[in-house]
Structure 1
Amino acid sequence: MEGVVLGFATIAAVIAVGALVAHLGVVDLAAQGVLARVSFFVATPALLVTTVSKADIHEVLSRSLVATAVGVAVPATIYLVAARRWRRSAGERVIGALSSSYVNAGNLGLPIAAYVLGDAALVAPTLLLQLLVLQPLALAVLDADGVGRRPRVGELLTGVFTNPLTLGTLVGLTLSLTGWQLPEVVAAPIGLIGAMAVPGVLIAYGISLRLGPGFGGDVPTGELTLTSVLKLVVQPVVAWAVAHYAFGIDGHALLAVVVCSSLPTAQNVFVHATRYDRATTLARDTILVTTIGAVPAVALAVLLLG
């Protein structure tokens, strides 16, 4: 439980710093957009190179991966179907689907996996599934949606391989699979730049909480409730059911699947929403609700399965 508290407390503290500097007038709302863009185009790709290059790709090819994937697919699909009632654009539906299923596997999942589960590698299936599959596809749709019409297949495929986050992931994947190591003169600055990704995103999020639209903004209450329930309840329950009943996973491995699926919506979703100006308030508020709600959710998972 110490790891759960430490992970969430660290994130809350950095977000609070962003809200504080906004409240004191040190920065304005424009600074949130600048930080988000720097994180999207520079810092996060660098972080992905270092993170993915050190990951054990073999950890992804497991039964846990399938359970995790189904846990992602079910809430995302439910949202995409339900979003028709709110007449969301393709890009907005992507952000809503990500808000319902894209977990904070990086800056929160890694420390919680290390402290709560005893092995940071246990978050690898979730982390790499998102980086290698979910995120590239979502960003491709967002890129194509920016042209103001239904995205074409060619545009989707092009977007997968031209987005900076996808490129960072692919470079890291190449390094991991080949065992190559970047020269220190290259790796050192990449690591330094990547280190600003997480705090940059969290500070930008804090600025938005203080200076952006009030909680809920123009987002229908039912939509925010749906994304939050899908993320906090449906995703971990589906992952647990598939892992336990379909694959016979139990014990510590089952706990790992459920804990990783119980993590809150990732701040990356807010960065994507800001970058493409799609459903920003929905992403921001879902992150807030699920970050608060994930504390008892993870604690309950540990209590019941630990």
Structure 2
Amino acid sequence: MSLDQPVFSALLPVVVLIGIGFAAGRLQLIRGAAVRDLSNLVFLVLVQALLFRTMATARLDRLDLHSVALYYVVSGLLFFALLLARGLSSRSAVLALAAIFSNTLMIGVPLVQLAYGDAALVSLFTLISMHALILLTLATVVLELLVAREQAAAGAGPRRHIAATVARAMKNAVLHPVPLPIIVGFLYSLTGWGLHPVVEQPLRLLGNAFGPVALVLVGVTLAQTAIGTQLKGALQIAALKTVLHPLLMAAAGWALGLSGLPLKVMVVAAALPIGANVFLFSQRYHKEEDLVTAAVAVSTVMAMGSISVVMGLLGTL
């Protein structure tokens, strides 16, 4: 099996789904007025089911966190470095999230399984189980803090003491469509009760619909975006995600003695294209929606080449 085969096998369905959405948007089968409602469906219904079920059924006591701790350290440092480099703003936070948040589920799982076998999935599932909990919660807290600061600076609300601003931002971050189902699911998992099939099956069906519907929605939005004007910015973000992120992960892993399948899985995960959750974040906060939409599509296409190179180089280690 060539190295290219698992890459294209995993990425082509994503490209096709985005293409279907693009065609539906251009043919006006899904009109612009419906995009916000579809975004709410994905963000407020489908992703809720996915996140809650993932955390509620995870056996956190059996997860080996050693192989993924470094991934989050590298991702977090890159997030804050990009945030500082672009300036402390909610816009910068969304773009920084795009540079670190991978499409681990729809692309990562089939790619890693095809390339490295079922043994590698243990490391990847450990990463996935904490992916949204750590990165999306981090991004939500930062975004809420920056939005509160921007509103205060614009005179959109009363000026508060920094402690009150932080407390309000933390409250908004917890009572948020992403961290809340993660937290509730995590707390439920501690009971050890499991989910009854009557509850688990509808949640699973809704969660399974998240990825395809979100990617079709990316395509619909892309059809309404003048991608030519966003191409340069989208290429820059895609390069950060699919080139810089895995390079930093590989360098950090090598420096700290990480090797074998755990290193390969973490580097490949870092090289994955931008996850659809970033698109939903940009929609929710109304920040750089066109640029993020273009970046998701561009990074998916770019990843066909960059992941092939990454996996080729990892094969020599």
Normalising by the smaller structure, the TM-score range is: 0.7 to 0.9
2:117 alignment partner, SS class: coil
Task: Answer yes or no: is 1:198 the counterpart of 2:211.
Answer: yes
Mapped pair 1:232 → 2:235: no
Structure-1 residue corresponding to 2:173: 160
User: Using the alignment, how far apart are the partners of 1:114 and 1:168 within structure 2?
Assistant: 28
Question: Contact 2:18 / 2:297 at 8 angstroms: preserved in 1?
Answer: no
Which whole-Å CA distance do the structure 2 matches of 1:214 and 1:249 have between them?
A: 39
Counterpart position of 1:123:
124
Q: CA–CA distance in 2 between the matches of 1:55 and 1:139? A: 22
Moved more, 259-268 or 161-170: 161-170
Q: Is the Cα contact below 8 Å between 2:94 and 2:282 reproduced in 1?
A: yes
CA distance in 2, matches of 1:241, 1:58: 29
- Return the alpha-carbon distance in structure 2 between the equivalents of residues 118 and 272 of structure 1: 33
Q: Provide the C-alpha distance between the structure 2 equivalents of 1:126 and 1:111, rounded to a whole number of angstroms.
A: 15
1:39 matched residue in structure 2: 42
Corresponding residue for 2:19?
16
Is 1:81 the counterpart of 2:84? The answer is: yes
Aligned partners of 1:14 and 1:202 also within 8 Å = yes
- Structure 2: distance between partners of 1:136 and 1:76: 13
- How far 1:197 sits from its partner (Å)? 1.1
1:43 Cα deviation after fit: 0.5
Identity fraction in percent = 25
Q: Match of 1:113?
A: 112
Please, what TM-score do these two structures have when normalized by structure 1? Answer: 0.88
1:215 aligned counterpart, secondary structure = helix
TM-score computed with the length of structure 2 as normaliser: 0.85
Q: AA paired with 2:19? A: A
User: Would you say how many aligned residue pairs link Structure 1 and Structure 2?
Assistant: 298
Unaligned runs of 5+ in 1: none
Specify the alignment match of 2:65 in structure 1. 62
* Distance 1:165-1:291 versus aligned 2 partners, 3 A rule: same
Query: SS at 2:141's partner residue?
Result: helix
Q: Check the 8 A contact 2:144/2:173 in 1, yes or no.
A: no
Point out where structure 2 has 5 or more consecutive residues left out of the alignment: 154-161
Aligned twin of 1:173:
186
Q: Is the 8 A contact 1:113 1:122 kept in 2?
A: no
* Greater CA drift, 69-78 or 103-112: 69-78
Q: More deviation in 38-47 or 25-34?
A: 25-34
Deviation at 1:104, TM superposition (A): 0.9
| 2:159 matched residue in structure 1 | none
Q: How many Å apart are 1:125 and its aligned residue?
A: 4.1
Q: What is the one-letter code of the residue matched to 2:113?
A: A
